[in-house]
Structure 1
Amino acid sequence: MRIVIYSMLLLLIAIQYPLWLGKGGWLKVYEMEKQLELQQAKNSLLSLRNAKLTGDVNDLKDGTRASEERARVEHGMIKEGEFFVQILPAEKASASQMDGVKPATTK
Protein backbone atom coordinates (compact mmCIF):
# COMPACT_ATOMS: atom_id res chain seq x y z
CA MET A 1 0.00 0.00 0.00
CA ARG A 2 2.83 2.41 0.84
CA ILE A 3 4.44 1.74 -2.51
CA VAL A 4 1.27 2.81 -4.28
CA ILE A 5 1.00 6.03 -2.23
CA TYR A 6 4.67 6.89 -2.77
CA SER A 7 4.47 6.12 -6.48
CA MET A 8 1.35 8.32 -6.81
CA LEU A 9 3.11 11.13 -4.93
CA LEU A 10 6.13 10.76 -7.19
CA LEU A 11 3.92 10.89 -10.29
CA LEU A 12 2.18 14.00 -8.92
CA ILE A 13 5.54 15.71 -8.46
CA ALA A 14 6.66 14.60 -11.94
CA ILE A 15 3.50 16.10 -13.45
CA GLN A 16 3.96 19.37 -11.56
CA TYR A 17 7.56 19.88 -12.69
CA PRO A 18 6.78 20.96 -16.29
CA LEU A 19 3.94 23.13 -15.03
CA TRP A 20 6.23 25.16 -12.77
CA LEU A 21 9.71 24.87 -14.26
CA GLY A 22 9.22 23.61 -17.81
CA LYS A 23 9.55 25.46 -21.11
CA GLY A 24 6.06 26.93 -20.92
CA GLY A 25 5.81 26.88 -17.16
CA TRP A 26 4.32 29.54 -14.94
CA LEU A 27 7.70 30.99 -13.97
CA LYS A 28 8.67 31.47 -17.62
CA VAL A 29 5.30 33.07 -18.33
CA TYR A 30 5.80 35.44 -15.39
CA GLU A 31 9.25 36.44 -16.68
CA MET A 32 7.91 36.96 -20.18
CA GLU A 33 5.07 39.14 -18.90
CA LYS A 34 7.59 41.38 -17.09
CA GLN A 35 9.71 41.63 -20.23
CA LEU A 36 6.59 42.46 -22.24
CA GLU A 37 5.66 45.28 -19.86
CA LEU A 38 9.18 46.74 -20.07
CA GLN A 39 9.16 46.55 -23.85
CA GLN A 40 5.72 48.18 -24.04
CA ALA A 41 6.97 51.06 -21.86
CA LYS A 42 10.00 51.51 -24.13
CA ASN A 43 7.77 51.39 -27.19
CA SER A 44 5.44 54.06 -25.81
CA LEU A 45 8.42 56.38 -25.18
CA LEU A 46 9.70 55.75 -28.68
CA SER A 47 6.24 56.39 -30.11
CA LEU A 48 6.14 59.77 -28.39
CA ARG A 49 9.57 60.61 -29.77
CA ASN A 50 8.52 59.52 -33.25
CA ALA A 51 5.37 61.65 -33.07
CA LYS A 52 7.46 64.68 -32.12
CA LEU A 53 9.92 64.04 -34.92
CA THR A 54 7.06 63.60 -37.38
CA GLY A 55 5.67 66.96 -36.31
CA ASP A 56 9.08 68.56 -36.77
CA VAL A 57 9.46 67.04 -40.23
CA ASN A 58 5.99 68.18 -41.28
CA ASP A 59 6.69 71.66 -39.97
CA LEU A 60 9.97 71.80 -41.85
CA LYS A 61 8.26 70.63 -45.06
CA ASP A 62 5.15 72.79 -44.90
CA GLY A 63 5.77 75.71 -42.58
CA THR A 64 8.33 78.46 -42.51
CA ARG A 65 8.48 78.95 -38.76
CA ALA A 66 10.68 75.92 -38.07
CA SER A 67 13.18 76.69 -40.80
CA GLU A 68 13.25 80.35 -39.70
CA GLU A 69 13.86 79.31 -36.10
CA ARG A 70 16.70 76.99 -37.08
CA ALA A 71 18.29 79.70 -39.21
CA ARG A 72 18.17 82.07 -36.27
CA VAL A 73 19.50 79.65 -33.68
CA GLU A 74 22.04 77.67 -35.67
CA HIS A 75 23.32 80.30 -38.10
CA GLY A 76 22.63 83.58 -36.28
CA MET A 77 20.54 84.93 -39.15
CA ILE A 78 18.15 87.84 -38.72
CA LYS A 79 15.30 89.24 -40.81
CA GLU A 80 15.56 92.49 -42.68
CA GLY A 81 14.68 95.36 -40.39
CA GLU A 82 15.55 93.44 -37.22
CA PHE A 83 18.40 94.20 -34.85
CA PHE A 84 20.62 91.60 -33.24
CA VAL A 85 21.49 92.40 -29.64
CA GLN A 86 23.83 90.17 -27.67
CA ILE A 87 24.01 90.63 -23.93
CA LEU A 88 27.11 89.21 -22.33
CA PRO A 89 27.23 88.19 -18.67
CA ALA A 90 28.98 90.69 -16.38
CA GLU A 91 32.07 88.46 -16.02
CA LYS A 92 32.67 88.16 -19.75
CA ALA A 93 31.84 91.81 -20.42
CA SER A 94 34.39 93.08 -17.91
CA ALA A 95 37.04 90.65 -19.18
CA SER A 96 36.51 91.71 -22.80
CA GLN A 97 36.66 95.39 -21.83
CA MET A 98 39.91 94.81 -19.98
CA ASP A 99 41.49 93.07 -22.97
CA GLY A 100 41.59 96.33 -24.93
CA VAL A 101 42.98 98.39 -22.03
CA LYS A 102 46.69 98.38 -21.31
CA PRO A 103 47.63 98.35 -17.64
CA ALA A 104 49.13 101.55 -16.28
CA THR A 105 52.86 101.43 -15.64
CA THR A 106 54.52 103.31 -12.86
CA LYS A 107 58.07 104.66 -13.04
Structure 2
Amino acid sequence: MWQDKWIPVVLLVLLGLLQYRLWFGKNSIPDYLNREQEVQAQAEQNANLAQRNALLEADINDLKIGLEAIEERARNELGLIKRGETFYRILPADSK
Protein backbone atom coordinates (compact mmCIF):
# COMPACT_ATOMS: atom_id res chain seq x y z
CA MET A 1 0.00 0.00 0.00
CA TRP A 2 2.83 2.40 0.85
CA GLN A 3 4.64 1.48 -2.32
CA ASP A 4 1.98 3.20 -4.41
CA LYS A 5 2.00 6.43 -2.37
CA TRP A 6 5.69 7.13 -1.82
CA ILE A 7 6.27 8.64 -5.31
CA PRO A 8 3.62 11.38 -4.90
CA VAL A 9 4.88 12.08 -1.36
CA VAL A 10 8.46 12.45 -2.57
CA LEU A 11 7.31 14.67 -5.41
CA LEU A 12 5.31 16.87 -3.02
CA VAL A 13 8.31 17.19 -0.69
CA LEU A 14 10.53 18.19 -3.63
CA LEU A 15 7.92 20.70 -4.78
CA GLY A 16 7.80 22.14 -1.26
CA LEU A 17 11.59 22.48 -1.16
CA LEU A 18 11.64 24.21 -4.53
CA GLN A 19 8.89 26.58 -3.43
CA TYR A 20 10.79 27.38 -0.24
CA ARG A 21 13.90 28.20 -2.24
CA LEU A 22 11.87 30.28 -4.68
CA TRP A 23 10.29 32.45 -1.97
CA PHE A 24 12.80 32.44 0.89
CA GLY A 25 16.16 31.18 -0.37
CA LYS A 26 19.13 32.92 -1.90
CA ASN A 27 18.24 34.76 -5.14
CA SER A 28 14.55 34.44 -4.34
CA ILE A 29 11.76 36.60 -5.72
CA PRO A 30 12.00 39.18 -2.89
CA ASP A 31 15.77 39.39 -3.49
CA TYR A 32 15.10 39.94 -7.18
CA LEU A 33 12.64 42.75 -6.45
CA ASN A 34 15.13 44.42 -4.07
CA ARG A 35 17.88 44.24 -6.69
CA GLU A 36 15.53 45.69 -9.28
CA GLN A 37 14.90 48.70 -7.01
CA GLU A 38 18.63 49.11 -6.41
CA VAL A 39 19.29 49.05 -10.16
CA GLN A 40 16.62 51.69 -10.73
CA ALA A 41 18.08 53.93 -8.00
CA GLN A 42 21.57 53.50 -9.46
CA ALA A 43 20.29 54.35 -12.95
CA GLU A 44 18.76 57.58 -11.60
CA GLN A 45 22.01 58.44 -9.84
CA ASN A 46 23.97 57.73 -13.04
CA ALA A 47 21.64 59.99 -15.02
CA ASN A 48 22.16 62.82 -12.52
CA LEU A 49 25.92 62.37 -12.65
CA ALA A 50 25.88 62.29 -16.45
CA GLN A 51 23.96 65.58 -16.48
CA ARG A 52 26.44 67.12 -14.03
CA ASN A 53 29.34 65.88 -16.15
CA ALA A 54 27.80 67.43 -19.26
CA LEU A 55 27.49 70.79 -17.49
CA LEU A 56 31.09 70.60 -16.30
CA GLU A 57 32.25 69.68 -19.79
CA ALA A 58 30.39 72.68 -21.20
CA ASP A 59 32.09 74.93 -18.62
CA ILE A 60 35.48 73.49 -19.54
CA ASN A 61 34.85 74.08 -23.24
CA ASP A 62 33.75 77.66 -22.53
CA LEU A 63 36.92 78.28 -20.54
CA LYS A 64 39.11 76.78 -23.26
CA ILE A 65 37.46 78.71 -26.09
CA GLY A 66 37.04 82.25 -24.93
CA LEU A 67 38.39 84.78 -22.54
CA GLU A 68 34.92 86.23 -22.11
CA ALA A 69 33.82 83.25 -20.05
CA ILE A 70 36.91 83.56 -17.86
CA GLU A 71 36.25 87.26 -17.37
CA GLU A 72 32.59 86.67 -16.56
CA ARG A 73 33.47 84.02 -14.04
CA ALA A 74 36.11 86.21 -12.40
CA ARG A 75 33.64 89.09 -12.11
CA ASN A 76 30.81 86.99 -10.69
CA GLU A 77 32.73 84.67 -8.38
CA LEU A 78 35.72 86.78 -7.36
CA GLY A 79 34.33 90.32 -7.74
CA LEU A 80 37.19 91.47 -9.98
CA ILE A 81 37.11 94.87 -11.67
CA LYS A 82 39.15 96.02 -14.67
CA ARG A 83 41.51 98.97 -14.46
CA GLY A 84 39.75 102.22 -15.16
CA GLU A 85 36.32 100.85 -14.28
CA THR A 86 34.18 102.24 -11.52
CA PHE A 87 32.24 99.74 -9.42
CA TYR A 88 28.72 100.63 -8.33
CA ARG A 89 26.66 98.47 -6.01
CA ILE A 90 22.94 99.07 -6.11
CA LEU A 91 21.14 97.88 -3.02
CA PRO A 92 17.38 97.23 -2.96
CA ALA A 93 15.26 99.72 -1.04
CA ASP A 94 14.20 98.72 2.46
CA SER A 95 10.63 97.56 2.63
CA LYS A 96 9.59 99.44 5.81
**TM-score range normalised by the length of the shorter chain:** 0.7 to 0.9
Which residue of structure 2 aligns with residue 64 of structure 1? 67
Candidates 25, 31, 34, aligned match of 2:34: 31
Which residue of structure 2 aligns with residue 101 of structure 1? none
TM-score by length of 2: 0.74
Candidates 77, 80, 95, aligned match of 2:80: 77
- Structure 1: distance between partners of 2:42 and 2:22: 26
Ranges in structure 2 where 5+ consecutive residues have no aligned partner: none
What code does the residue aligned with 2:70 have?
S
- Structure 2: distance between partners of 1:24 and 1:42: 24
| Equivalent position SS for 2:36 | helix
1:1-107 matches, within 5 Å, as 4=6, 5-79=8-82, 82-90=85-93
- Structure 2: distance between partners of 1:13 and 1:75: 71
- Structure 2: distance between partners of 1:66 and 1:50: 18
Q: Which has the larger radius of gyration?
A: 1
- Structure 1: distance between partners of 2:34 and 2:74: 50
What code does the residue aligned with 2:29 have?
W
The count of aligned residue pairs is 91
Seen in structure 2, the aligned counterparts of structure 1 residues 86 and 12 have a Cα distance that, compared at 3 Å, is: same
Which residue of structure 2 aligns with residue 97 of structure 1? none
What stretches of structure 1 move > 2 A for 4+ residues in a row? 3-11, 74-84, 88-91
- Structure 1: distance between partners of 2:79 and 2:40: 45
- Structure 2: distance between partners of 1:74 and 1:37: 37
Seen in structure 2, the aligned counterparts of structure 1 residues 40 and 6 have a Cα distance that, compared at 3 Å, is: same
